[in-house]
Amino acid sequence: MDGVGDAELLRRHVGGDRDAFGELFRRHRGRLWAVAVRTLADPEDAAEALQDAMIKAYQAAGTFRGGSAVTTWLHRIVVNACLDRIRAAGRRPTVPLPEDGREPVPAAPASADPQQAALRIAVHRALAELPFEHRAVLVYIDMLGYPVEEVAAILKVRPGTVKSRASRARKRLAASLPEFDPSAGAALAGNPPGQRGVEPGAGHPTSREEGGR
């Protein structure tokens, strides 16, 4: 099914093809997982949110009308599932501590500079304390490299709102982390400038690629 577009896969799923939705999820799971785990800052919560989102997408596929790319539709469902978990918990998520009391350390490449690795950990902890609407735009823009217009479509807000939220969020991070440069989004992803912070093999597609699916 490699040559089949996203919209066609969704149509086949609605028509009864048992393999179509699995292929759609396989195609985009890396990016969807990255959004969930970086938004909730807890792998267990992220896995459950992603599962909830995919069940909803599976069941609601017949309601998709093609007003946006299928990937935009899927991402919106994942974001909403994350928000539902945050609301259900009645608090902003924090980076959880293991049972032995030691603070968790996000994985970093063995060759990473210790100072950069420490900054990345501090930034992720501070990010987890931001309101959801601010955290979401930073996850998409600074971690995953999404363009402002697409983030606006996913969150159903104006591009100007996305920009203002991102600006306020970066300022809040800079206020709590003096060593954080708000103009250097790569610090959030832990990647060199220009390299998107997604899983290997799960790079964000171009608008042209998405539009054809």
CATH code for the domain of 38: 1.10.1740.10
* Of the ranges 56-70, 111-125, 180-194, the best mean pLDDT one: 56-70
Question: Higher confidence at residue 90 or residue 186?
Answer: 90
pLDDT of amino acid 89: 76
The answer to whether residues 64 and 27 belong to one domain is yes
For residues 184 and 151, state if they share a domain: yes
pLDDT of residue 173: 85
In a domain, 101, yes or no: no
Counting the structural domains of the chain, the total is 2
Measure the CA–CA gap between 155 and 176, rounded to whole angstroms: 26
Domain membership of residue 9 as a residue range: 1-94
64 and 1 in a common domain = yes
Select from 38, 71, 94 the last residue of a domain: 94
Tell me, yes or no, whether 205 lies in a domain.
no
* Tokens of residue 88, six digits: 């259900």
- Which comes out higher in pLDDT, residue 2 or 47? 47
pTM above 0.75, yes or no: no
Residue 53, token pair as written in the block: 């989102």
pLDDT at 199 over 60: no
Amino acid at 6: D
Max CA-CA distance within the chain?
A: 55
Look at residue 55 and tell me whether its pLDDT is greater than 70: yes
79 within 8 A of 155, measured Cβ to Cβ: yes
Residue whose pair of structure tokens reads 């902890």 in the numeric block: 125
Same domain, 84 and 116: no
